[in-house]
Amino acid sequence: MLPTPRTEGPYRVALVCLGNICRSPIADVVVNARLADAGLDELIVVDSYGTGDWHVGEPMDRRAAAVLTQHGYDATRHRARQYPAAGTDHDLVLAMDTDNLDELGGASERVRLFRSFDPEPGDSMVPDPYYGGDDGFTLVLRMIERTSDALVEQLSGLAEGSRLS
């Protein structure tokens, strides 16, 4: 179940990984594309961040951009950002792995693992493909696509329930 909106207006979702150049930008692009396809992009805003500041202002990793482009997504608009130390006013914050989750202060009503929405069983973490080969980025994209579909389905239910304006 999704947490209720904090305020009126768009429901805000933050996607968080370590450096904001691989996993969370892939998820950002895919979730936003799925929301647009569902006609929900005016009701739900998705942002991505890293827990670290190493890549702030940089585009996503070239391999992440390449796998997105190969699968028909637009990977050009992303610039890495760091998750604010004071937190955010997002309605839902989704971490890519347990280390990211711990950096965010641990699980709570509004903070959880991204793959908690994944319909397939697994260890609930999106593995970091940074130090591996191109096949790791393809695996991450597949994982993110199916999880995004399930997340958008739940967000759609929230929108249909008239809790978003």
Q: Is 146 a catalytic residue?
A: no
Q: Is 135 a catalytic residue?
A: no
Contact in structure between 149 and 34 (CB atoms under 8 Å): yes
Residues with Cβ within 8 Å of 10's Cβ and at least 6 positions away in sequence, in order, are 42, 43, 44, 45, 164
- The whole-number pLDDT of residue 72 equals 97
What are the structural domain ranges in the chain? 11-160
Please measure the distance between the N-terminal and C-terminal CA atoms of the chain and give it in whole angstroms.
19
Q: Which residue among 61, 97, 118, 128 is the active-site one?
A: 128
Q: Which residue among 17, 22, 110, 118 is the active-site one?
A: 17
Task: Report the top-level CATH class of 11-160.
Answer: alpha beta
Distance CA(90)–CA(7), nearest Å, equals 10
State whether residue 7 is helix, strand or coil.
coil
What is the helix (H) or strand (E) element at residue 48, kind and residue range? strand 44-50
Provide the residue-wise pLDDT of the chain in tens; the chain has 165 residues: 899 999 889 999 999 999 999 999 999 999 999 999 999 999 999 999 999 999 999 999 999 999 999 999 999 989 999 999 887 899 999 999 999 999 999 999 999 999 999 999 888 999 999 999 999 999 999 999 999 999 999 999 887 765 565
User: Model's pTM, two decimal places?
Assistant: 0.95
Q: Is 23 a catalytic residue?
A: yes
Distance CA(165)–CA(161), nearest Å, equals 10
- The whole-number pLDDT of residue 151 equals 97
Q: Which pLDDT tens digit goes with each residue over 93-128?
A: 999 999 999 999 999 999 999 999 999 988 899 999
Residues with Cβ within 8 Å of 126's Cβ and at least 6 positions away in sequence, in order, are 17, 23, 27, 96, 97, 114, 115, 140, 143, 144
Q: Which residue among 12, 22, 23, 81 is the active-site one?
A: 23
